[in-house]
Amino acid sequence: MTLPINFVVVRHAESESNAAKRRSRKGDHDAANKLRGRHTASFRLTGRGKGQARTTGGWLQQEFYGDEAPRWKGWGFDRCYASDYLRAMETGGLFALPGAKWLCDMYLTERDWGDIHALPEDERLARFGEALRMKEQEPFFWRPPNGQSLADKCLQVDRFLDTLHRECSDMNVLATCHGETAWAIRVRIEKMSQQRFRALHLSKNPDDKIKNCQVLHYTRRNPFTGELTPRANWLRMVRPAENPVWDTGWQEIERPTYSNDDLLQIVEAVPPDVT
């Protein structure tokens, strides 16, 4: 699959649900209770989120537009996509990119969290504690009650990536989406193993997370030599809204392959209960 020359993915800025969940984990459930009865598609950005989006938009303009933009990145974005959910659309609009013409795509919407969606933390744990414990065992294939697994989300993301392959291979493309959708994009582009995803999911290191307004920039152009390659082999992740700006720098993507012994070593890490 051939991706755009530059493919930039941005998680939406802080939303009402993000703020409500953060407060609920600290014992304040009022905001979470206010969101009951609203579909996740309708959640807006908070005041903090609007500031994050504007700051990130300024960074995108500096990187991709005008005389100060690095010459090899081109001039702006040939195509801009947003999830159909309001918080992603609002984030994209607040980027204020010159001349942007946005396309909204349902395949970029958030993972369906089913019955555990928008619940106060105490109620969520009381009603679905056992299901949530299962998530820690197998986060990639785990499905919330009446919801969607990350593996399911990857199948939707594949449809969006197929569109980029067919229509955008010579372009610069921007997409604003959601945290789990960004993870699904990472899994599919980087051919990330379920074991690697689980390690990142369970990691306590904040650098292993995809935070609000975090930028994932994939490129097919070697950032060190300028050579154009058939695959997107480099990734840079940036959080422009943090002070100081967090930036991984360019990293070459290593897509795993396995020998027979490698497969058996992975399997043997899980002892059988029945022989």
- Three-state DSSP at 79 gives strand
Model confidence pLDDT, tens digit, residues 35-94: 988 999 999 999 999 999 999 999 999 999 876 665 545 579 999 999 999 999 999 999
> Does some domain include residue 70?
yes
Residue 30's Cβ-count burial label (10 Å; 0-12, 13-18, 19+) is exposed
> Does some domain include residue 103?
yes
* pLDDT over threshold 90, residue 145: yes
* pLDDT over threshold 70, residue 168: yes
**Number of domain units in the chain:** 1
> Does some domain include residue 56?
yes
> Does some domain include residue 1?
no
> Does some domain include residue 166?
yes
> Does some domain include residue 132?
no
Mean pLDDT over 99-126 rounds to 94
CATH of the domain at 189: 3.40.50.1240
pTM: 0.95
Residues 6+ apart with CB under 8 A from 158: 188
Count, in order, helices (H) and strands (E) of the chain: 9, 8
> Does some domain include residue 138?
no
> Does some domain include residue 174?
yes
For residue 217, give its domain range: 6-15+40-111+144-268
